[in-house]
Amino acid sequence: MSVLSGKEIREFFGAQTWKQGREYWQGGLVKDLMQAEGSWQGTVLDLSGTYRVRIRLAGKTLTIDCSCTESGVPCRHAAALLWGWLVAPEKFIPAERLRARIEALSREEAVALLRQVVEEEGALLYRLLQGQEKVSPQLTGAGLLTIVYNLDFKQGSPWVNWRLFAERYEAALNLIAARMPEQEAEGRAVLATLLQQLSELLVQAPEVRSLLLPLFWQTFTRCVLSFNTRLDRGMLENILAVYLQIPLAAAEEEQFGELLIQLLAKGLVGPETLRSLLSSGEQGEKDLKKLRLQGLLLLSFGKQEEFEQLMTACDRQLAPFLILVDLLEQHKKYEQARAALRANLAKFTTPGDRYILRYRLARLYRKTGELRPALFLEMLNFAERPGKKEYLQIKELAMAVGEWEAVRKRLTGIKTGN
C-alpha cells in the first residue's frame, strides 16, 4: 500500500463514504480478509445483504469490484476494506500463506479441495479452467423490466423497508442510465414502469415523501433531462398525480414547477398534452394546485395575454385570484399585481374579502416603497379590525412618512368610536 497514502485514499472515496467505511470496520462488519500484492479482498455485511469486495491497485489507480449496486465506484464497502488495511493490516491473510498451504497439499488433498470449490464456487472454477477473464453479465431490456416490476419491499421494519427500496431504486436508475444512450426505446419503457411504481408509492405513502421525493427528482435528472428523453402522456400523468395528490411544502411545489418548465423548454413534453391535463379535473384544492401550475407556466413562457384571461376567469373567486396574484408577485410583476388587486376591490363586496384584498395591496405598496398608499389601506383595515399589532405597523409607516401625529389622533378616534 506504499504507492497510495492514507490521505490519497481518503480523497479517492470522499469524506462521507470514507466515514461510512470507518464505521463499518469499527462495527465489525468486514470479514474474510485477504491481501495479495496490490490487491485486497473481503466480504462486508450491510442492511440488504453481504457483499464481496475486491480492490486492485496499479500505480496510483484503484479499481473496485463490489457485488453491491454501486459496483465500479468508490462505495462504502470498499472504503471499509481499505480502512481495515490501513489500521489493522495484520488481520488480513497474506496470499503467500495460502499459496504455501496449497503447494503443501498432496494430490488427493488438492483434488478433494477442488471438489469443495466445485460445490461452493463452481462457476468461478469453470471460468478459470477455461482461461476466461471475468465478464459482467449482460442485462437485456426484458430482464431489466422484470427487475423493475419486482421493485417491491419486504415485510418487517418500515424504516428498513423504505431504505431498502431507495437502494434498489437507485440501482435501477443506474441500469437505466447505462442503457439509455444505446437502447433508448427499451430504456424509456423501463423508465415509465419505474416512474409509475414510484408515483404510486408516493400517493399511497405520502408520510415518507422526504425519502421518496429525492428519488423522484433523481429520476428526471439522471434519466430524462440528461438524455433528452421525451415523456409520453402516461409519464406526465404520473408527475401530476404526485403533484396533485400528496401534501407538498411550498419549496416542493416550486420544484415541480421548475421540473415542468425544464421539460417544456427542452421539448420533452407536449404543451397541448400538459394543457389538457391541467385544464381537466376535479373541484376543490386540486383545482387550486392545477391553477397555480397553469399560471406559473404561462408567466414563465411569456404568455401574458393567456395569463390575463386566466385571471379574468377567476374574477370574484378569492382563493384562485390570490394564487395568481402570488405568482405575479413572485415574478416581480408588482404593477400588474397591484392593478389586479385594485380592480377586484370593486368586485368583492363582503367585508372579509375586501379586508384581505386591502391587506395584500398594502403589502405590495410596502414592498415597492410606496408607503403613503400602504398607510391609507392599513388605516382602512384598522377601522374594521383594530388591534395592537396593526396599530404598531401603522405607527411605523406613519413615522416613516412624517405623519404620525395626525395619524395618531385618527387612530385614537377609531379606538374610542369618535
Question: pLDDT tens digit string along 328-365?
Answer: 999 999 999 999 999 888 888 888 999 999 999 999 99
Q: Distance between CA atoms of 236 and 244, rounded to whole angstroms?
A: 12
Q: What residues contact residue 89 under an 8 Å CB cut-off, 6+ apart?
A: 1, 35
For residue 296, count other CB atoms closer than 10 A to its CB: 24
Q: In this predicted model, which residue has the larger pLDDT, 259 or 136?
A: 259
- Can you give the pLDDT at residue 259? 93
- The pLDDT tens digits for 183-196 are 778 888 888 888 88
Q: Distance between CA atoms of 48 and 38, rounded to whole angstroms?
A: 29
Of 206, 177, 202, residue with least CA distance to 190: 177
- Can you give the pLDDT at residue 372? 93
Q: Taking residues 250-264, report their average pLDDT.
A: 92
How buried is 61 (Cβ within 10 angstroms: 0-12 exposed, 13-18 middle, 19+ buried)? exposed
**Distance of CA 94 to CAs 33, 119, 156, 187, Å?**
9, 24, 40, 44
Q: Cα(first)–Cα(last) distance of the chain, in Å? A: 90
Tell me: pLDDT of 415 over 60.
Answer: yes
Q: At 228, which amino acid appears?
A: N
- Can you give the pLDDT at residue 164? 72
Q: What residues contact residue 267 under an 8 Å CB cut-off, 6+ apart?
A: 230
Q: Distance between CA atoms of 402 and 173, rounded to whole angstroms?
A: 63
Residue 65 pairs in a beta bridge with 54
Q: Distance between CA atoms of 312 and 309, rounded to whole angstroms?
A: 5
- The pLDDT tens digits for 292-304 are 999 999 999 989 9
Q: Taking residues 402-414, report their average pLDDT.
A: 85
Percent of the chain with pLDDT over 90: 33
Tell me: pLDDT of 383 over 70.
Answer: yes
Q: In the structure, what pLDDT confidence band is assigned to residue 370 with cuts at 50, 70 and 90?
A: very high
- Can you give the pLDDT at residue 416? 59
**Distance of CA 286 to CAs 240, 245, 280, Å?**
10, 8, 11
- Can you give the pLDDT at residue 109? 84
Q: Distance between CA atoms of 36 and 97, rounded to whole angstroms?
A: 10
Of 74-83, 145-154, 385-394, 401-410, minimum mean pLDDT range: 145-154
Q: In this predicted model, which residue has the larger pLDDT, 127 or 64?
A: 64
Q: What residues contact residue 152 under an 8 Å CB cut-off, 6+ apart?
A: 165
Tell me: pLDDT of 400 over 50.
Answer: yes
Percent of the chain with pLDDT over 70: 88
**Distance of CA 159 to CAs 153, 169, 172, 251, 388, Å?**
11, 15, 20, 25, 48
- Can you give the pLDDT at residue 336? 94
Is-contact 342 377, C-beta < 8 A?
A: no
Q: In the structure, what pLDDT confidence band is assigned to residue 417 with cuts at 50, 70 and 90?
A: low
Q: In the structure, what pLDDT confidence band is assigned to residue 40 with cuts at 50, 70 and 90?
A: very high
Mean pLDDT of the chain: 84
- Can you give the pLDDT at residue 153? 47
Provide the grid cell at 292: 397555480
Provide the grid cell at 243: 403533484
- Can you give the pLDDT at residue 145? 62
For residue 78, count other CB atoms closer than 10 A to its CB: 29
Q: How many residues are recorded in the chain?
A: 418
Q: Taking residues 230-249, report their average pLDDT.
A: 91
Q: Taking residues 91-111, report their average pLDDT.
A: 86
Residue 226 pairs in a beta bridge with none
Q: In the structure, what pLDDT confidence band is assigned to residue 414 with cuts at 50, 70 and 90?
A: confident
Query: pTM (2 decimals)?
Result: 0.65
Cα-flanking dihedrals φ and ψ of residue 39, to 5°? Answer: -150, 150
For residue 67, count other CB atoms closer than 10 A to its CB: 14
- Can you give the pLDDT at residue 219? 92
